[in-house]
Structure 1
Amino acid sequence: MNFKKATVAVHRGLNTDTQYGCVSPPIYLSSNYNFIAFNEPRLHDYSRRTNPTRDIVQKALSDLEGGVGSILTNTGMSAIHLITMSLLRPGDLLIAPHDCYGGTYRLFQSMNHHNLYNVKFINQSNISELHKVFDEKPNMIFIESPSNPLLRVVDIAMICKLAKDVGAISVVDNTFMTPILQNPIHLGADLIVHSCTKYINGHSDILSGIVIAKSSEILDKLSWWANNIGVTAAAFDSYLLLRSIRTLLPRINVAQNNALAIVDYLKQQKFVKKIYHPSLVDNVGYKYAVKQQKGFGAIISMEIYGNIETLKLFLKSLKLFTLAESLGSVESLICHAASMTHAGMSHEARNKAGISEMLLRISVGIEDKEDLINDLDNAFKIVSNNF
């Protein structure tokens, strides 16, 4: 009997306890493990290197993404840092999207300033710009699709093919889509990275990241460095993450359906200047989203008319949407990209990427969609009555 990967991953680790028959696997909090005898270590010797609870999560997420294995890290940013510091050397060239997450931009830019590697930010939606940059023989290309916060979608398979042709490593940040809606390894990517803090955990209560590898050779390098610099995730966080993976599919389905309803609502609002969502035909890369994604996701960005005072009143008037950074949780969140998630980018860099001062990013949760729409509607009415 064949089961879908999502079902296999959800059941990973269940009913493996032979001592008490625990349905959910126990949490192994021990930091170290005794040796059988002199020079005879067990499978696990020190939890920075490997941990039984972390192993289960790594296997589950690797199965979901179609990789050979993975490394669970303590944050999403440490997962990205692990990749670049393990696989790049001074003088190597990293190509990154000019409209990527602000934290990613800040990391790459700061490493570039320290001469650890070179970075070039480009518009990966521009085909001619892409081909031109590959003439420079980059060592790695980092892809974010859909992008954060403008939801631009790029042709992952095409970019990974260009990378392979010049011997570059292709990395895809799949945080927005999760393994449920997109599988970049199947599209040719060498590595996938997730901020597990977001959808995979989905409860705003842990920080975590993961790197999933297509080949054992790269995985071995990353594993050595993960232990070397100590970025692996804690056992308790791994335990909570395993809990969350089991509800990932229904959470994604509800949030995505809510998002589609909200997009339809926002189309009717006079204060909304522009909507960014992969479901929209005029969204950058819509034709690629239809081809490579299994859904359009639950992140929406929008620009509203007015000024900063308009924006402040709108945000203050919301009751169900929490003004906060991060995304992908069961509760709906809203953030002002320029002053929050992308504050680490210069004003010039944000302008070049198209991130305006009036842009808001919404992470749609799993609340009742009518309640969410009513909350937005109330806030728009308050703004309308005051401007």
Structure 2
Amino acid sequence: MKVADSAGLPSNEPFNWHDETTVLHGDAALNADASVVPPIHYSATYRARSAAEFADMANTPRHPGFYNRYGNPVHKHVEAILAELEQTETALLMGSGMGAISTTILSLVERGDHVIAQQRHYMSTSKLFEEVLPRFGVTCTLVDQTDNEAFAAAIRSETRLIMVETPVNPTLSLTDLKAVADLARPRGIITVADNTFASPLNQRPHELGIDIVVHSATKYFGGHHDLMAGAVCCSQALAERIWPMHVTLGSVLSPMDAWLLLRGLRTLPLRMERINANAQAVAEWLETQPAIDRVFYPGLPSHSQHNLARRQMKGYGAVIAFSIKGGFEATSQFVSSLKLATHAVSLGGVETLIVHTAAMWAGTMTEAQMQSAGIEPNFVRMSVGVEHIDDLKADLATALAAIA
């Protein structure tokens, strides 16, 4: 639980800050000087004043002042805020979202173990389970994330881990987090949830029983499409298992990106409030357009899992998926006709981004893999930003008119 005194520094009295306050003051206890903004610590290594101090630095896990691969003072500021937002004991920062996911999984499984994952995951996560882990003797079962019974049926005596992602990229299907956690915990199975598409402002998997929450911090946390980072939020005990693998694999977050990430977190609640409102309005508007075949957004009553979304989410995020009538060519023309929405990958930043998903992944996925992931030729993924809603609608309307 968070604790602070009247100056915003630690005390023994509990308090309950709102998210808007946490992102601004949740790291206040770490301020080493009078700086309002923590400085960037651009040093790869740090000086010890004695042999005893060096030994202590070298043998203290996650020491922020020994060697940058082990930690950085700015990392601690970010980790303190992320742990509070996800309501976990601690957090670990890494160089990318996939660095966080791969490091976490590889630290928790070994030859002979069995893991359960979803049929639909972020593409690189799917490759980890389908192509990488089997090479090291770890067997994987992929299940329909919308079917709680499928998770239960896949459990074996050697199952050690279940990995979920909700909402999933790019189809926005949901996983019942509490149901998965309730299946896993009595059996001693570790659960990992990728919460990137939701953010802790909209969904907190740990509060629903999930053990480890991972993020591509590149997205909402950074918020400005100018950094790459990953985060793992979990208990101290699990962090102690994950950290040695992190040091070995070396997915390190640079001091500058850590500082930019901290700056981005300061405005996360403000941005998410606008993004949630804009995306809901755009999704509702798209459903009324004759050129649109289907719209996928958890905040819409038409979403097949809308009731689940209302139970486990407080907001529904930036990402909308929709399909264009007219197939691949019409979809390509639509995306090319947009002027305000930027044709680029990623999500969760202040600018609206859009991609034609079939075109984006055609070079890295087979037709069978795209079908399994639910990627149709006329599928579009849009990450709604903070622009004025009327301007976003006008841009979309002009592009739709171009294919009418």
Q: TM-score range by the shorter chain?
A: over 0.9
Q: 1:231 matched to which residue of 2?
A: 251
Deviations 1:310-351 (A, max 9, x none): 112111110011111111111001112223257543321321
Residue of structure 1 equivalent to 2:173: 152
Alpha-carbon contact 2:112-2:158 (below 8 Å) kept? no
Residue deviations 1:277-325 (CA, integer Å, cap 9, x gap):
0012232321111011111112100011112221121111100111111
| Partner of residue 368, structure 2 | 348
Counterpart for residue 275 of structure 1: 295
- Contact 1:255 1:365 (C-alpha < 8 Å) held by counterparts: yes
1:30 corresponds, among 38, 43, 59, to 43
Name the counterpart of 2:400: 380
Q: Does the residue aligned with 1:239 lie in a helix, a strand or coil?
A: helix
CA RMSD of aligned residues (A): 1.7
Moved more, 121-130 or 7-16: 7-16
The alpha carbon displacement at 1:115 in A equals 2.8
What's the counterpart of residue 67 of structure 1? Answer: 88
1:9 corresponds to which residue? 23
Q: Structure 1 residues 292 and 31, CA, compared in 2 at 3 Å: closer, same or farther?
A: same
CA contact (8 A) 2:331 2:379 kept: no
1:183 maps to 2:204:
yes
The more displaced of 187-196 and 95-104 is 95-104
Pairing partner for 2:240 from 203, 213, 220: 220
AA aligned to 2:225 is S
**Structure 1 residues 281 and 18: CA distance shift in structure 2, 3 A:** closer
| 1:116–1:372 CA distance, 2 compared to 1 (3 A) | farther
The worse-fitting range, judged by mean Cα deviation, of 291-300 and 39-48 is 39-48
1:127 corresponds to = 148
Q: 1:207 aligns with which of 228, 232, 244?
A: 228
Gapped runs of 5+ residues in structure 2? Answer: 1-14, 58-62
Give yes or no for contact 2:23–2:267 (8 Å, CA) kept in 1.
no
Separation in structure 2 between the aligned mates of residue 55 and residue 313 of structure 1, nearest angstrom: 46
Write the letter of the residue equivalent to 2:338: L
Displacement of 1:263 in angstroms is 1.1
Query: Bigger relative contact order, structure 1 or 2, given CA contacts below 8 A and separation 6+?
Result: 1
Asked if the contact 1:199/1:248 (under 8 Å) is kept, the reply is: yes
What secondary structure, in the 3-state scheme, does the structure 1 residue paired with 2:214 have? strand
Report if aligned partners of 2:332, 2:356 keep a CA contact under 8 Å in 1: no
CA deviation after TM superposition for structure 1 residue 14, in Å: 4.7
- Tell me the residue number matched to 1:304: 324
CA separation in 2, counterparts of 1:40 and 1:127?
A: 52
Local SS of the residue matching 2:377: coil
Runs of 4+ in 1 over 3 A off after TM superposition: 12-19, 341-345
* AA partner of residue 373 (structure 1): K
Matched-pair contact (CA < 8 Å) for 1:155–1:285: no
Q: 1:17 to 1:140 in 2, by over 3 A?
A: closer
Q: Aligned partners of 2:86, 2:24: CA distance in 1, in Å?
A: 13
User: Taking structure 1 as reference, are residues 316 and 343 closer, same or farther at Cα in structure 2, changes over 3 Å only?
Assistant: same
> Residues 171 and 375 of structure 2 are in contact (CA less than 8 Å); yes or no, is this contact kept in structure 1?
yes
Give me the whole-angstrom Cα distance separating, in 1, the residues matched to 2:172 and 2:53.
51
Structure 2 CA distance for aligned equivalents of residues 364 and 5 of structure 1: 21
Per-residue Cα deviation, 1:346-365 (whole angstroms, up to 9, x for no partner): 32132133221111100000
**Take 1:343 and 1:140, find their aligned partners in 2: how far apart are those partners?**
30
What CA distance in whole angstroms lies between the structure 2 residues aligned with 1:175 and 1:166? 26
- 1:165 Cα shift? 2.5
Cα separation, partners in 2 of 1:342 and 1:205, compared to 1, 3 Å: farther
Amino acid at match of 1:366: V
From the superposition, tell whether residues 275 and 344 of structure 1 become closer, same or farther in structure 2 (CA, over 3 Å): same
1:52 — aligned with what?
73
One of 101, 108, 111 as aligned partner of 2:122 = 101
Contact 2:69 2:252 in 1 (8 A): yes
Q: What are the Cα deviations for residues 154-181 of structure 1, in whole angstroms up to 9, with x where unaligned?
A: 2101101111132211000000111111
Unaligned stretches of 5+ residues in structure 1: none
| TM-score relative to the length of structure 1 | 0.94
Q: Number of residue pairs matched?
A: 382
Q: Please point out which of 87, 102, 127 is paired with 2:108.
A: 87
Identity of aligned residues (%): 33
For 1:19-39, what per-residue CA distance to the aligned partner results, in whole angstroms no more than 9, with x for missing partners? Answer: 4x2111111111111112113
Once the two structures are superposed, residues 3-23 of structure 1 have per-residue CA deviations (whole angstroms, 9 ceiling, x without a partner) of 22441232234586554x211
The one-letter amino acid paired with 2:115 is L
Distance 1:172 1:336, change over 3 A: same
